Amino acid sequence: MLLVNTIRENYDTVLTGLKKRNLPNAESILAKVLELDQSRKDTQNQRDTLQAESNAISKQIGMLMKEGKNAEVEQIKARTTEIKEQIKTLEESFAQIEESLKQLLYTIPNVPHVSVPFGKSAEDNEIVLQNGTIPTLPEGKLPHWELIKKLDIIDFELGVKITGAGFPVYKGKGARLQRALINFFLDEALKAGYTEIQPPILVNEDSGYGTGQLPDKEGQMYEATVDRLFLIPTAEVPITNIYRDAILNESDFPIKNVGYTPCFRREAGSWGAHVRGLNRLHQFDKVEIVHISHPEVSYQALEEMSLYVQGLLQKLELPYRVLRLCGGDMGFTSALTYDMEVFSAAQERWLEVSSVSNFESYQANRLKLRYRNADKKTQLAHTLNGSALALPRIVAAILENNQTEAGIKMPEVLIPYLGFDKI
RNA sequence: AGAGAGUUGGGUGAGUGGCUGAAACCAACAGUUUGCUAAACUGUCGUACGGGUUAAACUGUACCGGGGGUUCGAAUCCCCCACUCUCUGCCA
């Protein structure tokens, strides 16, 4: 969430930013925030003053009792009862004000970076670049959901039997392709200086709040209700939460972590005709990169991540494009997001395979992720993350784009990992 | 899962009702000394939210696993919860 100080000190920037987000009533929301913050301060001030008085009296009682002046003690005790009443009232309204303020702040999305285009939907995203050649496919080309059936490498019906829709079973070369991609992505990340992390894939409530899945997107996660744990929708959640409540040193930067995990998404209400096959699943594999960055260089880090992800797509010989998301399409917590899309040649569609975002201090504020600057003051760090990469749509594109009469050719870089060169 | 013990600042660890935001030691940081390193010595050394200041200085409040209670006053007493350790059981 945003810092109230940011809202107060950069009011105009915040307001224009929120308008880019198409947030209705931005003015009145911000006004309410400032108002609540002011009454929070006033209330705290009153409470603290009374509390100070009460503390002084208690100290005095201690001394009087030591001197055996019990009559005087009884006298001033009466005064504290009065003060205590007042403190209690103030305490209650203070808690109430703080809670309303917090709830209100939760409803305010991050302020978009200046380069984020205005716009309402995916239509308005800006195409930054396009790279690679779109293949011409032979007669009788098939979409991946036909290919996997024909080749018997991914089985959706079997997944339905075991679990339900959206939980495919990968078999034979299909399973080996998954494993090869995961290893390839992790090895590439190591070469690029990332530290490999294997986090838990169930997280507690605090972690959900830390990265912003809670309280709003509760319905998007599977929950183990008995233990009040959530299956992660992305490795971003556990890997970023490593740094919850941390105070780093400037010398700790940059922090670059990579982790492979399965991801679980309920995807409630987001199914339709265009999400056949591997395009949308409840469980899928993803390798995620997470940066914790010094605020001054977080946008350099974002570019670095974008180039890194593009490099992976180039190595996999997939045609791709990079989009800068518009204010209306960007995630709630992001300040700037690049989406990477690959062209899946049989479906003739662009598929999102990565989303690289700078959250600036928005997540860090919830996480209480700070660092100590040269003046020994604590400052919020910046967090960034991106998929590198999400597997299912990569698999879909590899299968569709590389189909030949002789079978599906595997990308050169994967062959050492696969142990075969076509399916 | 059952029984017992525990949870204090970056670490070890003292503290059983007021003089404790918290001893001592270690680590860290700055300085003195030194041919260099080491040692020794001196100092600094929690977080959050307020007040104050151009900025500091200074100052108020809260925080000793989390929440609640008793009390004029709680790290210290009581209750609930979480977690950790030991033993027993079970198990990949």
Q: Tens of pLDDT along A370-409?
A: 998 877 788 999 999 999 999 999 999 999 999 998 899 9
Domain ranges of chain A: 4-106, 122-418
Alpha helices in A266-326 (DSSP H): 298-315
| A372: CB within 7 A of chain B nucleic strand | yes
Residues 80-99 of A with CB under 7 A from strand B: 80-81, 84
**What pLDDT does A270 receive?**
65
For residue A269, is pLDDT > 70? no
Q: Is the dihedral of CA A155, A161, A162, A167 positive or negative?
A: positive
Residues 36-75 of A with CB under 7 A from strand B: 37, 40-41, 44-45, 47-49, 51-52, 54-59, 61-62, 65
**What pLDDT does A78 receive?**
80
For residue A272, is pLDDT > 70? no
A253 close to A293: Cβ distance less than 8 angstroms? yes
* ipTM score assigned to the predicted complex: 0.87
Residue A273 pLDDT level (bands cut at 50, 70, 90): low
**Residue A157 assigned as binding residue:** no
For residue A79, is pLDDT > 90? no
**What pLDDT does A226 receive?**
80
* The residue to which tokens 């007042």 are assigned: A86
* CATH number for region A122-418: 3.30.930.10
The candidate with the shortest Cα–Cα distance to A107, out of A389, A298, A331, A332, is A332
Quickly give A184 CA vs B43 C1' distance in Å. 53
Determine the Cα–Cα distance for residues A131 and A275; give it in Å rounded to an integer: 24
Give the DSSP per-residue string, A28-80: HHHHHHHHHHHHHHHHHHHHHHHHHHHHHHHHHHHHHHHTT-HHHHHHHHHHH
Q: A32, exposed or middle or buried, with CB in 10 Å at 0-12, 13-18, 19+?
A: middle
Nearest protein residue by Cα to C1' of nucleotide B51:
A45
For residue A314, is pLDDT > 80? yes
Determine the Cα–Cα distance for residues A134 and A238; give it in Å rounded to an integer: 37
Q: Architecture of A4-106 per CATH?
A: Orthogonal Bundle (1.10)
Determine the Cα–Cα distance for residues A261 and A279; give it in Å rounded to an integer: 18
Give the DSSP per-residue string, A132-192: SPPPPPPTT---HHHHHHHHT-EEHHHHHHHT-TT--EE-THHHHHHHHHHHHHHHHHHHT
Do you know the residue count of chain A? 423
For residue A19, is pLDDT > 90? yes
Nearest protein residue by Cα to C1' of nucleotide B60:
A48
Helix (H) or strand (E) holding A336: strand A336-344
The candidate with the shortest Cα–Cα distance to A39, out of A89, A83, A87, A101, is A101
- Identify the three-state secondary structure at position A397: helix
What is the share, in percent, of chain A residues with pLDDT greater than 90? 71
For residue A275, is pLDDT > 80? no
Note the strand B nucleotides within 7 A of protein beta carbons.
18-19, 47-51, 60-62, 72-73
**Residue A205 assigned as binding residue:** no
Determine the Cα–Cα distance for residues A326 and A195; give it in Å rounded to an integer: 31
Residue A271 pLDDT level (bands cut at 50, 70, 90): low
Determine the Cα–Cα distance for residues A118 and A112; give it in Å rounded to an integer: 10
Q: What is the mean pLDDT of chain A?
A: 91
Cα–Cα distance list, A66 to A60, A71, A81, A284 (Å): 10, 13, 21, 70
Judge if the upstream peptide bond of residue A143 is cis by omega within 30 degrees of 0: no
